[in-house]
Structure 1
Amino acid sequence: MSSVTKALDLLCHFSAARAEIGLSQLCRIAKRDKATTYRHLQALEISGFIEQNPSTKQYRLGPAVLQLAQTREATVPRKASTEEPLLDLAETTGETAHVTVLSGTKVYGLASCDSPRHGTRAIIDIDTFPLHATASGLCALAFGPEDLMDTALADLTTFTQTTATTPDTLKEAVQAIRQTGFGRAMRTYEVEIEGLSAPLFDQTGQYAGAVSVASVATRFTPELERTIKEHLMIASRDISHNWGGTIPSEIEGLWANSITARHALESTS
């Protein structure tokens, strides 16, 4: 990893929940020594990517990040075109809906819409989604570039008792997703949350991200699962279309088989 990459990677540790970070804390989070981290912070500060709060002396994202974000959205529009499909998805499922995008080997949060029906609901408060533990990340492993698996296997952090923490369990989970067309994370990142996702494609025809629904586990029933999957398909088609892409026929086939199989299982139970 180059010095530039290491410096820019520090930006990923900032989030809405952790808007300001001190030098010592950042060293612990990034698992780097103080001298190197300080040198990288100085370089980022000179470039405007971060700034130091004069009151707290902690670091926060700088104006250059905002400028780049605005330029990105203006030239490669993504967020605005997800708003209506996400609102429809949240309203029809009653759960929190969100969209992630794949950039390089990382999955970033793009937009979210909270459940309009329930006071107790999933809260999307992370900016980078673990590949091995979230529905969005697992969806990327199943339908994104093959080299993502190597990245995921390099960091199998345990979040809950059901998190995939071995190569075999992770590969089994990904293979199951490839058979249904839906990413699935059953209490693997948070013990009280179950998630489902569907892949998104852009004008390149390649995997671009995922649209997901995060449900409070105590509300997650077979009926709700079916409803979520049906509306995830609609949202995935709409957002992919807005991004200039289409859903590959093989994934449409997986969805159809998955919904039919679930319906047949419910009818005989």
Structure 2
Amino acid sequence: MSSARKTLELLSFFSTARPEIGLSQLCRIAGRDKATTYRHLQALETAGFVEQNPVTRQYRLGPAVMQLAQVREATVPRKASAQLPMTQLADVTGETAHVSVLSGNTLYALASCESPKHGTRAVIDITTFPLHATASGICALAFGPEQLFKSATARMTPYTANTPVTPDAVARLVEDARATGFARSDRSFEAEIHSLSAPIYDQTGLFAGAVSVACVASRFTPALEHDIKTQLVTASRDITRNWGGALPPEIETAWASSLAPAQTLDIAK
């Protein structure tokens, strides 16, 4: 791994759940020595990508990150055009909805919305989604570029007892996603969370990300699964349209087949 990549990778450890990180804590998280981590932080601080809280002396994201985020959204609009369908998805299903975007071999969290219907609900507090262990990741493997599978299976961290840890196990999940149009994560990333995802496409005609619903596993029933899948179809269509894309006919066909006979969907609205 290059020095530049190691330096920039430190930014990925910050999140809404962990907005500030001290030097020693960051060393433990990144698995690096103190001198190297401090040198990388100094480079990021000089460029404005991180700053030190003058009170706690811990590091937090700097103003340069905000500036780049604004440029990204202005030139490649994603978050704003996904917000309404995602919010509606959370409202109707009563569960947490979220959207992710693919860049290279990494699936990044774009936005999330928690439904107030339940006191206990899924919280999306990660910046990137493990491809082998999340519904969003399986969705990317099923409908994204072929090289993702090699990247996903190169290092399969066992997050829970249900995490697939062999290429064959991941391949079976990918095959099911392609057949049904929906990817699934059954307590494989978090022990109490069951998730479903549907693909999103953009103006390139290629897979661009996933829209997902994360549900507390104890609430997950066949009836709720059907409702979530039905609403995911609507959200995927809306976000894909907003991103200038079109859903491949085979996705619409897979949805209609997997949801029939309980509900007949209009193909390619």
**TM surpasses 0.5:** yes
- The residue identity in structure 2 corresponding to 1:200 is I
Query: Per-residue CA shift, 1:153-182, capped at 9, x if unaligned?
Result: 122111111111122211221122111111
Offset of 1:99 from its aligned partner?
0.6
- 3-state SS of paired residue (1:157): coil
Unaligned runs of 5+ in 2: 265-269
User: What does residue 138 of structure 1 align with?
Assistant: 138
Q: Which residue of 1 aligns with 2:93?
A: 93
Letter in 2 for 1:172: R
Matches within 5 A, 1:31-46: 31-46=31-46
Q: Which amino acid aligns with 1:109?
A: A
Structure 1 CA distance for aligned equivalents of residues 120 and 42 of structure 2: 42
Structure 1 SS opposite 2:176? helix
Matched with 1:159 is 159
SS in 2 for 1:102: strand
- Deviation digits for residues 38-89 of structure 1 (CA, Å, limit 9, x no counterpart): 2211111110001122222221111000000111111111111112111221
CA distance in structure 1 between the partners assigned to 2:118 and 2:139 by the alignment? 26
Aligned partners of 1:78 and 1:248: how far apart in 2? 20
- The 2-side partners of 1:163 and 1:132 are apart by 8
Taking structure 2 as the reference length, the TM-score comes to 0.94
1:6 is displaced (CA, Å) by 1.4
Aligned to 2:16, what secondary structure does the other structure show? coil
Q: Which runs of 5+ in 1 are unaligned?
A: 265-269
Look up the match of 1:210: 210
CA distance 1:55–1:47, shift in 2 (3 Å): same
* 1:262 Cα offset (Å): 6.8
- Structure 1 pair 35–240 and aligned structure 2 pair: CA distance change class (3 A): same
In structure 1, distance between residues paired with 2:207 and 2:30: 29
Conserved? CA contact 2:173–2:183, under 8 Å:
no
The answer to whether structure 1 residue 224 and structure 2 residue 224 are counterparts is yes
Q: How many residues align?
A: 264
Work out the CA distance in 2 between the residues paired with 1:120 and 1:13. 25
What is the TM-score with the length of structure 1 in the denominator?
0.94
What SS does the aligned partner of 1:171 have? helix
State the match for 1:56 in structure 2.
Answer: 56
Structure-to-structure mapping, 1:225-264, within 5 angstroms: 225-260=225-260
CA drift of 1:263 comes to: 6.7
Instruction: State the alpha-carbon separation in 2 of the partners of residues 138 and 254 from structure 1.
Output: 16
2:151 partner SS: helix
Which residue matches 1:267? none
Q: Which amino acid aligns with 2:125?
A: D
The CA deviation string for residues 109-163 of structure 1, in whole angstroms up to 9 with x for no partner, is 1111111322221111222111111111111111111111122112211111111
Letter in 1 for 2:161: Q
- Give distance in 2, aligned partners of 1:171 and 1:250: 19
Superposed structure 1 runs of 4+ greater than 6 Å apart = 261-264
Q: How far has the Cα of 1:96 moved from its partner?
A: 1.1
Deviates more, 1:232-241 or 1:25-34: 25-34
Structure 1 residue 37 displacement after superposition:
1.8
Find the residue that maps to 1:100 and give its secondary structure.
strand
Say what the alpha-carbon RMSD is for the aligned residues: 1.5
Shift of 1:31: 1.6
